[in-house]
Amino acid sequence: MLAELGHFSLALAFLMAVALAIYPMWGVQRASQTMMALARPLATGMFLFTAIAYGALTWAFVSNDFTLSYVASNSNSALPVYYRVTAVWGGHEGSFLLWVFVLSCWTVAVARFSRAMPQPMVARVLAILGLIAASFYLYVLTASNPFERLLPFYPVDGRDLNPLLQDIGMIMHPPMLYMGYVGFSVVFALAIAALINGRLDAAWARWARPWTLAAWVFLTIGIMLGSWWAYYELGWGGWWFWDPVENASFMPWLAGTALLHSLAVTEKRKLFKSWTVLLAIAAFSLSLLGTFLVRSGVIVSVHAFASDPTRGLFILGILAVTIGGSLLLFALRAAGLRSLANYQPVSREVMLMGNNLFLSAATLVVLLGTLLPLVHKELGLGSISIGAPFFNQMFSYLIGPFVALLAIGPLSRWKNQSLLALRGQIITGLLIAAVGSLLINWQYSGIEAWALVGTLLALWIGVSTVQEIVSRHGDGQAGMQSLKRLTPSHWGMVLGHIGFAVTLMGIALTSHYSVEKDVRMAVGERTELAGYQFEFNGVTSLQGPNYRGQQALVDIYQDGEHIAHLRAEKRFYQVQRNMMTEAAIDGGFTRDLYVALGEQLSNGDWGLRLYVKPFVRWIWAGALLMALGGIMSMLDKRYRLAQAKTNAPVEQLQGQTV
């Protein structure tokens, strides 16, 4: 009965979305305050009915309702309760229900926190979100329904959740990633509403920037959690291995990062309006493309959810209409988005535009590298592979000039900047970074050139960020008072840039100085790797709630001193008959020691894989700093104060600046 309630609630949410897509927009055309006022209650109703449907499916998993096909395929009575809750999004149907639930959350958030916007603008934005939601509700109801029953026959126990997903990473990673993906729909709706209205100004940028920051923060954390999950679950390097599904989340992140910088220029100087709108369209379009890639069955990946290409046609249709319609509207309205402000060839505006161009080029590289093999195969031209060497080489060419603009940009001024005036700061920053890079790399035998370059670039960003604060705000008591007056948005920028530098440092060092070793070891035997001694002390039995297995006991020594005791596991999941490896990791500030248990050999020895990964945790620490910077920028009271004034018509806000 609860499943029928969920299905019925989902149908009502679809009707609410259809009404939301029609009546508020119609009200704007008729200048009807009553019809426009329907937007908020319709958005709330859509959210409530979707929440009921999502809650019904969650309870079906918790109560082991195997009469539902989706529950039977993705759960088991022996599965721990917390994994049953997260199994809701462990397969195709449930992941799409999570998608529309998150979209309804963003929609009701816009309805709740946009009371300062002019009513016609709110009506347009919510109507566009309603149109997007209606298309996905229709998809869930017709092609991906999680409430289908198996009556009259159903299993006593389910097939169990994919063992790869029975992990804490599964609890946190997908919801955060979806919050980022779907969050860009708000920015997209704001951009389309501005194009329809024909007005895009500083006030619009102030409305769009907090929503962009929120989506970007969630996506940053989601990607970071996915990287961490792949690292300890699959044994990957901890940052990027150019899997197509990883690329699907990386592309909107790159576009969203460019959008944040472009919005800053539009807000401050009323420039790059067309470019900003195009980036807003691109960020959400790439999010939809990622949804298509992951759930259409066109790619094979450990991350992919679906293997039914017919479902992908529906998603492809949504993608085509969204991208095609928005670009057509952009083409019709772009001529009216001309920027009138003046600036010189060397200025902060130009630095930020250069920054955007390199981010866009990086996005294009990832897009082509991901899609070209698919297109090549579909055209009957055979299979081709574009792997890590291509991506790494292209990004190596892009990172240098990108970091140069990132380091020099904050030091430069708006409108006009003399490079000669910055010469001293640039040279000083590069010298400090070069010396620091040499000192950091000197401790490793056989200095790697790219590691040296990577650490130099990371340190240059950090040094230039400090230089920017010192040069603009001086020293002494007056300087301290000036620092206190810095806005949260400014400190958010500082944290974001420092976070990127920390991540870049981690990538450079762990990519080039990580060492690994496959060994066969008898009980009591020791082996050395990168100055650490690994002692194998045998294997014990392991029994879990829905698996059994073995765990290797490994002690680690350095210079004769015991520093860690690790337990690396191999688990056999009895229902799906799958074997999974659970690595043991001793994490540290400057290195990780990583042990994975292999197979038992014929003579009783065991195979083990050992890693020493320097600075790998800096990758995730940097991502957290970037996310923290985004949160701090969102808290800037300037946006709240600016919105408090926007009860007036948009026309009265066009002269305001930040």
Q: pLDDT tens digit string along 136-167?
A: 999 999 988 999 987 677 778 888 888 888 88
Question: What are the backbone angles phi and psi of residue 198, rounded to the nearest 5°?
Answer: 80, 10
* Helix or strand (DSSP H, E) at 403: helix 388-408
Least confident of 263-267, 485-489, 603-607: 485-489
- Using a 10 angstrom Cβ sphere, with 0-12 exposed, 13-18 middle and 19 or more buried, the burial of residue 368 is middle
State the pLDDT at residue 651.
Answer: 35
Task: Tell me if residue 130 falls in helix, strand or coil.
Answer: helix
Percent with pLDDT over 70 in the chain: 90
Higher-confidence position of 602 and 502: 502
Diameter over CA atoms, the chain:
84
Query: In angstroms, rounded to a whole number, what is the distance separating the alpha carbons of residues 476 and 480?
Result: 6
Chain centroid to CA 412 = 30
Question: What are the backbone angles phi and psi of residue 298, rounded to the nearest 5°?
Answer: -80, -15
Question: What are the backbone angles phi and psi of residue 269, rounded to the nearest 5°?
Answer: -120, 0
Mean pLDDT of 397-408: 92
pLDDT bucket at 654, cuts 50 / 70 / 90: very low
Sequence-ordered list of residues with C-beta below 8 angstroms from that of 457, at least 6 positions apart, any chain:
399, 400, 403, 433, 504, 508
pLDDT bucket at 648, cuts 50 / 70 / 90: very low
pLDDT bucket at 657, cuts 50 / 70 / 90: very low
Mean pLDDT of 183-206: 89
Preceding peptide of 155 cis, ω within 30°:
no
State the pLDDT at residue 47.
Answer: 98
Higher-confidence position of 347 and 141: 141
Mean pLDDT of 598-607: 91
Least confident of 182-186, 216-220, 484-488, 580-584: 484-488
Residue 509: pLDDT over 90? yes
CA distance from start to end of the chain:
55
DSSP one-letter code for 601? P
* Helix or strand (DSSP H, E) at 357: helix 348-378
Taking only Cα atoms into account, the Rg of the chain, rounded to an integer number of angstroms, comes to 27
Q: Which of 540, 496, 94 is nearest to 257 (CA)?
A: 496
Q: Which of 264, 119, 129, 251 is nearest to 181 (CA)?
A: 251
Mean pLDDT of 60-70: 93
* Helix or strand (DSSP H, E) at 538: strand 532-543
Query: In angstroms, rounded to a whole number, what is the distance separating the alpha carbons of residues 491 and 473?
Result: 13
State the pLDDT at residue 158.
Answer: 86
State the pLDDT at residue 300.
Answer: 55
Higher-confidence position of 384 and 26: 26
Percent with pLDDT over 90 in the chain: 58
State the pLDDT at residue 307.
Answer: 52
pLDDT bucket at 230, cuts 50 / 70 / 90: confident
Residue 239: pLDDT over 70? no
Higher-confidence position of 237 and 399: 399
Mean pLDDT of 12-24: 96
Question: What are the backbone angles phi and psi of residue 64, rounded to the nearest 5°?
Answer: 55, 50
Higher-confidence position of 442 and 347: 442
Query: In angstroms, rounded to a whole number, what is the distance separating the alpha carbons of residues 485 and 365?
Result: 41
Query: In angstroms, rounded to a whole number, what is the distance separating the alpha carbons of residues 243 and 299?
Result: 10
State the pLDDT at residue 578.
Answer: 86
Question: Hey, what's the torsion of the CAs at 492, 494, 498, 501, to 10 degrees?
Answer: 110
State the pLDDT at residue 635.
Answer: 86
Per-residue CA distances from 619 to 214, 231, 360, 390 (Å): 21, 11, 22, 21
DSSP one-letter code for 68? B
Residue 527: pLDDT over 50? yes
Chain centroid to CA 318 = 22
Task: Tell me if residue 555 falls in helix, strand or coil.
Answer: strand
Let me know: does 234 contact 246? Beta carbons within 8 Å.
no
Q: Which two tokens stand for residue 533?
A: 């001694």
- CB neighbourhood size of 159 (10 A): 15
- Average pLDDT of the chain, as a whole number: 87
- CB neighbourhood size of 235 (10 A): 15
Query: In angstroms, rounded to a whole number, what is the distance separating the alpha carbons of residues 536 and 531?
Result: 16
Mean pLDDT of 191-210: 86
Q: Which of 16, 18, 79, 20 is nearest to 49 (CA)?
A: 16
Task: Tell me if residue 465 falls in helix, strand or coil.
Answer: helix
- CB neighbourhood size of 422 (10 A): 19
Buried b (16+ CB within 10 A) or exposed e, 243-267: bbbbbbbbbbbbbbbbbbbbbbbbb
Q: Which two tokens stand for residue 40?
A: 């908020």
pLDDT in tens, 440-483: 999 887 889 999 999 999 999 999 999 988 876 655 555 556 66
pLDDT bucket at 650, cuts 50 / 70 / 90: very low
Phi-psi category of residue 490: left, alpha or beta, with phi > 0 → left and psi -120 to 50 → alpha: alpha
State the pLDDT at residue 429.
Answer: 94
DSSP one-letter code for 149? B
Q: Which of 58, 243, 207, 231 is nearest to 122 (CA)?
A: 207
> pTM for this one?
0.91
State the pLDDT at residue 236.
Answer: 58
Q: Which of 17, 21, 5 is nearest to 54 (CA)?
A: 5
Query: In angstroms, rounded to a whole number, what is the distance separating the alpha carbons of residues 82 and 79?
Result: 8
Query: In angstroms, rounded to a whole number, what is the distance separating the alpha carbons of residues 311 and 298?
Result: 10
Per-residue CA distances from 120 to 23, 197, 640 (Å): 12, 9, 20
Residue 415: pLDDT over 60? yes
Q: Does domain 1-163 have CATH number 3.40.50.720?
A: no
State the pLDDT at residue 647.
Answer: 43
Mean pLDDT of 208-225: 94
Question: Hey, what's the torsion of the CAs at 506, 509, 511, 513, to 10 degrees?
Answer: -150
State the pLDDT at residue 72.
Answer: 93
Buried b (16+ CB within 10 A) or exposed e, 465-478: bebbbeeebeeeee
Mean pLDDT of 3-32: 95
Amino acid 7 reads: H
